[in-house]
Amino acid sequence: MGNEIAMLEGARHEVDLTVIVPAYNEAETLGDTVRSLQRQTVSPDRILVVDDCSTDATAEVAESLGVAVLRPPENTGSKAGAQSFALDRVDTRLVMAVDADTTLAPDAIEKLFAAFADPEVVAACGFVLPRRVRSIWERGRYVEYMLAFSFFKRIQDNYGKPLIASGCFSVYRTAELRAAGGWSTRTMAEDMDLTWTMYRAGHRVRFMPDAVCYPIEPHDMEFLGKQLRRWSHGFVQNVRLHWSSVLQLGYLRSLVAVAFWDALLASLAYLVLVPVLAIVLDPLVLLAYLVDAPVVVIPVLWQAIGRRETGRALGSFPAFFVLRVVNALYMLSAVWREFVLRRPLLVYEKGH
């Protein structure tokens, strides 16, 4: 404990941070994001809002809150493009990327900074939770995040390789980020691309569960579809792009192999095989859909009880199974388009 405090104090004295907030038509949500950054226990040196040629009052909102606004000559076409545009103007040792629809807990940056006491760590990400939990999709995502960040991601961190430093809230060492080429636009999941690039270069990435952020998640099918299309295509594109280097990284290789199995064959089995077996063999096969329910509910409840959100977690639980089916459909579609039809997703569609 003493060690941790000493490390934190060390990190606190070294605060040298620029926050980049890429924004395209985010006038409604940007104010909350900037205010949450300004109320941090550890203040960043500079907040840069990249107004990516918005057609609403995004720039005015940012200027009214006293932060610097950058405007590229034309729309960069993606979040990664807007972030990279700002990266050229960063002169601090650390740089943070925060989505314009994401707010941070007051001590989020302070908690995230603790990771950088280790000189080998070049990136750190935090715990993500949906800010609004109302629609079925937000509820499904709430359970998905509670499960992923309270169990899976902690284990990934324990074994030294979180699968992704989430793009909505991560801090990087500027020099290493530049050396990795910044946020690339070659895939639809620039955060996964960057994380795997950093692993390939032999760097460490940490997950800090006490650093919490709250993005706005898709509330309807239209936004959800755009987000899932990006994520599923992004995952497949990253597997294609990085497969040779991922194969050489023991734990990450296993992690990606299992994730790819689940993405492809588990989706097929979930959507096709189980119903077919239920018809051909016995309807009792349908019980297979319920067997892993405890694997979801235990870590979610564990986390929810600590956060005093037990009712919300239990109420949201069924939505997770609906979201899972939708996830599976989008993932299969992405694999089909990317691998079989050879029609990669190239246009970044903004969802949330």
Judged by beta carbon, residue 91 or residue 282, the one nearer other proteins is 282
CA angle 257/261/232 to nearest 5° reads 95
Binding residue for other proteins, selected from 91, 118, 302, 310, defined by CB under 8 A:
302
Name the minimum Å distance from CB 320 to other proteins. Answer: 10
Contacts (CB under 8 A) with other proteins, residues 26-85? none
346 binds other proteins (CB under 8 A): no
Name the minimum Å distance from CB 51 to other proteins. Answer: 28
9 binds other proteins (CB under 8 A): no
CA angle 220/184/81 to nearest 5° reads 65
CA angle 110/112/113 to nearest 5° reads 65
Name the minimum Å distance from CB 123 to other proteins. Answer: 15
CA angle 238/347/79 to nearest 5° reads 75
Name the minimum Å distance from CB 214 to other proteins. Answer: 14
Please, what's the b/e burial string for 236-247 (b: 16 or more CB within 10 A of its CB; e: otherwise)? bbbbebbeeebe
Judged by beta carbon, residue 24 or residue 231, the one nearer other proteins is 231
Say how many residues touch other proteins, by CB under 8 A. 74
* Alpha-helical runs (H) found in 97-135: 108-113
Beta strands in 101-203 (DSSP E): 102-104, 121-128, 169-173
152 binds other proteins (CB under 8 A): yes
Binding residue for other proteins, selected from 137, 199, 330, 348, defined by CB under 8 A:
330
Name the minimum Å distance from CB 288 to other proteins. Answer: 4
8 binds other proteins (CB under 8 A): no
Please report how the helices 136-147 and 310-335 are oriented relative to each other, as an axis angle in degrees rounded to 10.
90
Q: How many angstroms separate the CA atoms of 35 and 160, rounded?
A: 33
Contacts (CB under 8 A) with other proteins, residues 256-285? 256-259, 261-263, 265-270, 273-274, 277, 281-285
Stretch that binds other proteins, among 8-16, 59-67, 77-85, 298-306 (CB under 8 A): 298-306
Judged by beta carbon, residue 175 or residue 279, the one nearer other proteins is 279
| Secondary structure tally for the chain: helices H, strands E | 16, 8
Q: How many angstroms separate the CA atoms of 63 and 212, rounded?
A: 26
Contacts (CB under 8 A) with other proteins, residues 119-148? 128, 144-145, 147-148
Judged by beta carbon, residue 136 or residue 263, the one nearer other proteins is 263
Judged by beta carbon, residue 153 or residue 174, the one nearer other proteins is 153
Name the minimum Å distance from CB 261 to other proteins. Answer: 5
Q: How many angstroms separate the CA atoms of 147 and 130, rounded?
A: 13
Contacts (CB under 8 A) with other proteins, residues 165-184? 166
Task: Say if CB 334 and CB 229 are below 8 A apart.
Answer: yes
164 binds other proteins (CB under 8 A): yes
Cβ-based neighbours of 168, under 8 Å, separated by 6 or more: 97, 98, 99, 102, 128, 213, 215
Dmax (CA) for the chain in angstroms is: 66
Binding residue for other proteins, selected from 295, 305, 322, 346, defined by CB under 8 A:
295
Judged by beta carbon, residue 295 or residue 346, the one nearer other proteins is 295
Contacts (CB under 8 A) with other proteins, residues 199-258? 227-228, 231-232, 234-235, 244, 247-248, 253-258
Task: Say if CB 338 and CB 240 are below 8 A apart.
Answer: yes
